[in-house]
């Protein structure tokens, strides 16, 4: 997954901007990124497109460290982007960090990957 040499950390919003067990959409010129906040206040960033039928993952239900696609309920692991269960779909993930309540996402691979 890591292909660019240097991380490109981009500040996107505050932690409180994302509802608990909820999500926000980050719109960029290279497509949308879904930001998720889990029950334990961890934040994940995934490409906002299900590899199954392109459903917007940001509109799904967050539970534990996973997200269920709103269109056909395929479940993805937020850590790895891999589909749960026997299916072998995978969503692109982006590294995130939280400093002083501000969320940054490493967008160096934006626009690449599947």
Partner 1 sequence: MSSQRLVVIGNGMAPGRVLDHLFERAPHAYQVTIFNAEPRINYDRIMLSPVLSGEKQFEDIIIHDEAWYKEHQITLHRGKEVVEIDRNNRVVTASDGTKAPYDRLLIATGSNPIIIPVPGHDLPGVVTYRDLDDVDAMLSASKEKGRAVVIGGGLLGLEAAVGLKMQGMDVSVVHLASTLMERQLDEAAGHLLRKEIERRGIAVYTNANTSEIIGEGKVEAIKLDDGTIIKADLVCMAVGIRPSTAVAKDAGLAVERGIIVGDDLKTSDPAIFAVGECVQHQGQCYGLVAPLYEMAKVIAAQLSGDTDASYTGSVTSTKLKVTGVDVFSAGDFQQTEGREEIVLRDASQGIYRRLVLSNDQLIGAVFYGDTKDSAWFFQHIKDGTDVADYRDTLIFGPTYAGGDAIDPLAAVAALPADAEICGCNGVCKSKIQDTIKGEGLTSLDDVRAFTKASASCGSCTGLVEQLLALTLGDAFDPDAAKPMCGCTDLGHDAVRRLIVAGGLKSIPDVMQQLNWRTSCGCSKCRPAINYYLICAWPGEYEDDGQSRFINERVHANIQKDGTYSVVPRMWGGMTTAQELRAIADVVDKYDIPTVKCTGGARIDMLGVKKEDLPDVWSDLNQAGLVSGHAYAKGLRTVKSCVGTDWCRFGTQDSTGLAVKLERFLWGSWTPHKVKLGVSGCPRNCAEATCKDIGVVCVDSGYEVHFAGAAGMHVKGTDLLCTLETEEETIQYIGALMQMYREQGWYLDRIYKWAAKVGVDYVRDTLENVEERQSYYERFVYSQKFMQDDPWAARVAGKDAHEFTPITLDRRVETA
Residues at the site binding partner 1, with contacts judged by CB under 8 A: 8-13, 17-22, 24-29, 32, 35, 39-40, 52-56, 59-64, 66, 68, 70-71, 73, 75, 85-86, 88-90, 99, 102, 104, 107, 114
> Are the C-beta atoms of residues 47 and 91 closer than 8 Å to each other?
yes
User: Residue 88's CB: how many other CB atoms inside 10 A?
Assistant: 8
Contacts of 79 (CB under 8 A, 6+ apart): 44, 65, 93
């Amino acid at each position: 997954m890591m292909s660019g040499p240097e991380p490109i950390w981009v500040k996107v919003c505050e932690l409180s901007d994302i509802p608990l067990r909820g999500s926000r959409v980050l719109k960029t010129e290279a497509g949308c990124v879904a930001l998720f906040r889990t029950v334990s206040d961890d934040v994940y960033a995934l490409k906002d497109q299900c590899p199954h039928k392109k459903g917007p993952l940001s509109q799904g239900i967050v539970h534990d460290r996973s997200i269920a696609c709103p269109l056909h309920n395929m479940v993805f692991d937020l850590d790895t982007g891999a589909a749960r269960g026997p299916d072998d779909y995978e969503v692109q993930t982006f590294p995130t960090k939280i400093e002083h309540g501000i969320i940054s996402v490493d967008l160096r691979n934006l626009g690449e990957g599947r």
